[in-house]
Chains A and B, each alone.
Chain A
Amino acid sequence: MKFSYNWLQSFFSESLPEPEKLAELLTMHSFEVEEVEKKDEDHILAIDILPNRAHDCLSHLGVAKEIAALTDSKLKNPSPGLARLGRESKKLLQVDIQDKSLCPRYTAYVVEGVKIADSPEWIKERLASMNQKPISNIVDITNYIMWELGQPLHAFDFDKINGANMNIRLAKQGEKLETLDGAAHDLGADAIIIEDESRIIDLAGIKGGANTQIDSSTKTIIFQAAIFDAARIRKAAQKLGIKTDAAVRYMHGFDQNLPPQALERAIELLRETNPKVKIVQKIDIYPSPQKSKKIAIDTRYVNSLLGTDISKKKMKQILEKLGFGLTSLTGGFKIKDLGFKFTVDVPAYRLDIDAAQDVIEEIGRIYGYENIKPIAPQGTLAVPRRNEQVFWRSRARDILSGFGFSEVYNYSMIPKSQEEDYAFPLLELTNPISDEFQYLRPWLMHGVLKNIASNKKYFEAIKLFEIGRVFFQEGEDIREEENFIFALTGKENAANGFYEVKGYADEFLKKLGINDFYFDPTFSEEDEKYHGLLLHPARRAIIRADNNFVGFVGEVHPDILSKFGVEGKVYCAEFNFDKISAAAEEEHIYQKPSKYPEVVRDIAVLVPRGTMVVEALNAINSVSGPLLRDIDLFDMFEGENLPEGMKNLAFHLIFQSDKKTLTSQEVDEIMSKITKVLEENLWEVR
C-alpha cells in the first residue's frame, strides 16, 4: 500500500525521521519499503505490508503505531471522545442478522441534517496523495477513514431505503445487484448481502448498491461500519472478480473494537462541512465481543530461540512500546531453566499474535536482527549419508556429457495436442496455464523431440540428454518416476544411428556397473501400450536388466517425427532411472590380464537376412569353452556378391588362456567345433 509521509506525521507531535531514514527503519524492523517518491510537499512510501499484518497495517494509523515503537515516540490518537457526539433520539431503523457468523459486529449511525458539499482542502489533499479523486464530503469521508484507520465504511441514503428494516443474509443463487459503479453482478451463494423490505441494497464488505447511493439531494444517511466474515468475503470477491480496497481489508479481518472508533472519527470529519449534523440513532449489534489474549513467555526461551542475551528489562521495554502489557509470573525472581517468566497481554489489534514464538518475533525484530551475532551451530560431527539417487544421477550426467551429449531441461507439462500419441491415460491439470501445458509428461521423449526440431535450424548433428520426473496412471495408482533420456540425430547417423545409440546405451549401463542386461526385440502387450507407439516397429528394443524393464532404445517413429517437423531420423534411449540407480553398482573387481599371447581367428558365416547376430553368438558360445575369451563382430554385410536374402557375418574370435601359451592345434580343435555347430544350423561357413 502507498502511505503519505505527511499523513503519518500527523499522528506525532515530534517530527519523524527524514523519509529515507524512516524507510530504512521500517524495512529493517517492520515491512519492506519498496520506494520513496517525492510528491509535491509530501513523500509517498510504497510499503509492502506483510500478509499477517494486513489486518492492522493497511492503514496510516497501523503503520504509525509501528513507527511509534521504532522511534520511541508518543502517538496522538486522532479519534475524539464519544461524549461530544450527542445522544440517540429516534428509532428509525431495525437491523437483523440472519446468521451471526456472517457479521460478528454491526455498527451504524443514522445521521440527519446532512448537506452534500465539497470536502475541505486538507482532506482533498490527503485523498490526492492516495490517488483518490474527491467526490463529496460523505463519500470522501468513507475513503479517508479506510486509509486512516483501516475500517471500511459505507454510507446509505436513508430516504432511499424501502421500509424500516434491514436484513443481513447470504445471497441466493440467481440474485442480482447493480453496484455503485453501475456494474450488474450475478451474486453467488457465498456473497453476504443487505436487503431492505423489497430488494438487495448492498454487496456487504465489497461494494454498495446503486439503488441507495448518496446523491446531491441526500439529507439523512446511514454510516455503516461493520465487520463481515473474512472467509466469505474472500470467496465472494474471488468469484465475482471484484477486489475492492474494502474487500481486501475484510479478507484479512481486523480489530472488532474499530467500528465505533471509525464512526466517531467520521462524524468529527463530517462536522467540518456540516457542523449541525445530528446522530439520531446508534446501532451496535455485537453479540460475542472479541476476547483478549494472554501468552506466557520466559526469558530463557526468548534468548535461546534468537541466540541472544537480551535482558528482561530490554524485552519489557520493547513489548510495551508495541502496546503489549506485561505481568511478571515469578514475582521478579529468576527461575532455574526458565529465567524470568511473564504473561503478555496482546493488544486487541494484533490478531496475528497467538503463540510465544509470535511474541519472540516482536522482540527480535525491534531489537534488530542486525544485532544478533552469528554463532556456528554445535553438534556431533557426522558425515552426511549419501543420497544414492543424487549420486548416480550426477554420475549418469557425467557419462553422457563425456559422450558429447548436452543437457536440456524441459517443462513437466506437455500440450493437449499430444494426448493422441499415447495409448494410456495421461494426468491432466484442472487449471492449465494454456493448451500447451495441459498434461503431465509420461515420458521425456516429447520434450527432447521439440528441442531437436527447434535446434535443427542451427545445428546439423544434435546430441541431447535430459533427466527428470515423469507421471502416469497405472490402474488406480498415480506414478511419479525419474526418467533419463538421450537422443541423437545428424547426417552421419543416418545409416548407423541405431547402433550408435545402442552402443552408448551399452556403455552407459556398464559405466554404472550394470552388466547383466540385454536388448530384447520382443515387445510385450504392456511394452507396446506404454512406449511401442513412439518407436519404429522394426528398429526398437526393450532393455532388460535381471529380466526387468529398465528402458528402451530405438529409432523414433517417423509419424511422431513428422508431427514435430523433424526431418531425417532420430535415435533415442529412455530409461527408468529409479530402476537404474537401484541396480547401479560402484563395487568393481579387477581382472588380471593374461601373461600369455592371444590367438585371433576370423570366421565368416552366410546366414538368412532375418537371422539375428545373437543367434550366431549363442551357437558359437555353446561349443567354444572357456578359452574363447571374446567375440567381435567386425562386419555385417548384405547385397552385391551375396545370394538374395542372405547376409554375411564376420567375427574375430579371440582365444587366450591365463595358464599357458595356446598351441595352434588347440585352437584348431575349438574352431572345428564352432564350424560344425554353425553348419548344423544350415549356415554356410566361409
Chain B
Amino acid sequence: MEELDKIKKEINSASDLKELDGIYKKYLGKKGEVALALRSIGDLSEREKKERAPQLQSLKKEIEEEVLKRSSELKSSGAEEALRGEWLDVTAPGKKAELGHLHPLTQIQQKVNEIFSSLGFEIVEGPELETEWYNFDALNIPKDHPSRDIWDTFWMQDKELLLRTHTSPVQIRHMEKHQPPIRIIAPGRVFRHEASDASHDIQFYQLEGLMVDKDMSVANFKAVINEFLSQLFGENVKIRLRPSFFPFVEPGFEVDMYGPKGWMEMLGAGMVHPNVFKAAGYNPVNWQGFAFGIGLDRIAMMKYKIDDIRLLYSGDLRFLKQF
C-alpha cells in the first residue's frame, strides 16, 4: 500500500497529459513495472500466486483509475485555460437592437382603452369630417348662439362640413343606432381654429365617454371617473367636481384632480341633456346618462412631462425615440 500511495502522488503531480502518459507507461506500459510483474506471475508458486495476483490486479485498477481521474482534471483545466483566452470586455456597449417606437399618444390611447375596456366600455369611433348637425345642433348648441363661440371651428369650402371640434358627435351617432344600456368611449382626433402655443394646437386628441341606463347618476359618474383616474395615475387619486357648463349636459361639471401643484383641471362632464337624447331619437323620460370628455394630449404631457404640445405633431425622432 505504501507502494500505491507513492504512485498516486506521482500521478497527481503530473503537470500535463504528456507527463501523465510517461507515468502510466512506467507502470502499465508494455515494459511497465506493474505490467511486468503481472506477466511474470505464472513463475510464482501456487501459494505466492494466490496472495500476489489479487494485490497486483487491484494495484493496476487503482493506477488506471487514478490516471483517468488526473487526465480529466488536466483536460478540463486546459479547456478553461483556452476559454480564458477568449476574454471579452463586457463593459463595452451591446449591439444596438433596432426596435421602433410607438408614439406617446398611441401609448396613452392604448392605456386608456385598456382601462375602459376592463370597466366594460366598448370603443367606438366617428368621422373627423363632421356635419353641423352632429357637431353642434344635435348637441343642443343652437346656431347664432354665444355658446357656439367656445368651439372655434374649421369649415370646409362650399360644403356643409366642418372638422369636428370635439368627439361628442360620436355620442349621437352611436345612440341613433343602439339602445341602452350604453357604455362607450370614443377616442379620436379633433380640431380647433385657434392660435397655437405650447399648450394649444390646431389639432389634438379627445376621449369621449358615455354611459346611459335607466337610472345613471352623478354618484355613478363619480365612481367611474375615480376608478379611471386611479388606474391611470396610480392608486387613490383625489378628485373634486365643480359646476361648469356644456350645452349638451345638465348638470355639467369640471373634474379636478389633486396633484403636486394643487388642483388640476382634468376633464369636463355632466348628465346627458334631455335635448341630446331627443336629437338621438330617445325619449328623455326613460333614460339617464352621463358623458365626459378628456384631452389625451394633456394627459400625455402630464405623464411624460412634455412642455410643448406641438412636439407631439413634429415628427422629430429625437423626441419620438424616447418613448
Contacts and interface: CB of A to CB of B under 8 A. Distances in A.
Interface of A: 27-32, 50-54, 230-231, 234-235, 251-252, 304-308, 355, 357-358, 360-361, 364-365, 369-370, 372-377, 379-385, 387, 389-390, 394, 397, 400-413, 427-433, 437, 440, 447-448, 450-451, 454-455, 458-459, 462-465, 468-469, 471, 478, 480
A364 to B, nearest CB: 5
A163 to B, nearest CB: 35
B55 to A, nearest CB: 58
Contacts of A52: 147, 245, 247
B224 A410 contact: no
B6 to A, nearest CB: 59
| Nearest 7 CB-CB pairings of A with B | A307-B219, A307-B217, A451-B315, A361-B251, A401-B100, A369-B241, A374-B223
A430 B156 contact: yes
B123 A387 contact: yes
B217 A390 contact: no
Contacts of A480: 127-129
A301 to B, nearest CB: 9
A428 B156 contact: yes
Contacts of A455: 315-317
B216 interface: yes
A431 B162 CA distance: 10
A50 B243 contact: yes
A431 B154 contact: yes
Contact of B220 (A53, A375, A450, A478): A375
B12 interface: no
Contacts of B189: 412, 468-469
Given A358-B250, A411-B203, A427-B157, 10 more contacts: A50-B245, A377-B213, A384-B120, A403-B100, A404-B100, A409-B103, A440-B129, A454-B315, A471-B128, A478-B159
B212 to A, nearest CB: 11
Given A390-B125, A407-B101, A408-B320, A51 B219 contact: no
A365 B321 CA distance: 46
Contacts of B147: 51-52
B100 A402 contact: yes
Interface stretch (B19-27, B33-41, B82-90, B105-113): B105-113
Contacts of B283: none
Contacts of B312: 409
Given A357-B273, A377-B224, A407-B103, A251 B122 contact: no
A436 to B, nearest CB: 10
15 contacts: A32-B242, A51-B146, A304-B217, A308-B219, A355-B274, A387-B122, A387-B124, A400-B100, A401-B102, A410-B315, A430-B156, A447-B315, A454-B315, A458-B317, A464-B315
Contacts of B211: 377
Given A409-B312, A428-B157, A459-B317, A380 B181 contact: yes
Interface in B27-48: none
A370 B241 contact: yes
B240 A370 contact: yes
A410 B313 CA distance: 5
A30 B243 contact: yes
Contacts of B316: 451, 454-455
A455 B316 CA distance: 6
Contacts of A306: 217-219, 251
A308 B117 CA distance: 28
A51 B146 CA distance: 8
Given A32-B242, A412-B191, A462-B317, A377 B100 contact: no
Contacts of A373: 219, 222
B243 A411 contact: no
A304 B215 contact: yes
A430 B157 contact: yes
B266 to A, nearest CB: 14
A404 B144 CA distance: 51
B300 to A, nearest CB: 11
Contacts of B220: 307, 374-377
Nearest to B147: A51
Given A387-B123, A406-B100, A369 B242 contact: yes
Contacts of B227: 376
Nearest to B247: A52
B215 to A, nearest CB: 5
B253 interface: yes
Given A384-B120, A407-B106, A54 B146 contact: yes
Of the listed residues B121, B250, B320, the one surrounded by the most CB atoms of chain A closer than 10 A to its CB is B250
A389 B127 contact: no
B150 interface: yes
A411 B110 CA distance: 21
A404 B222 CA distance: 42
Interface in B178-192: 181, 183, 189, 191
A635 B161 CA distance: 54
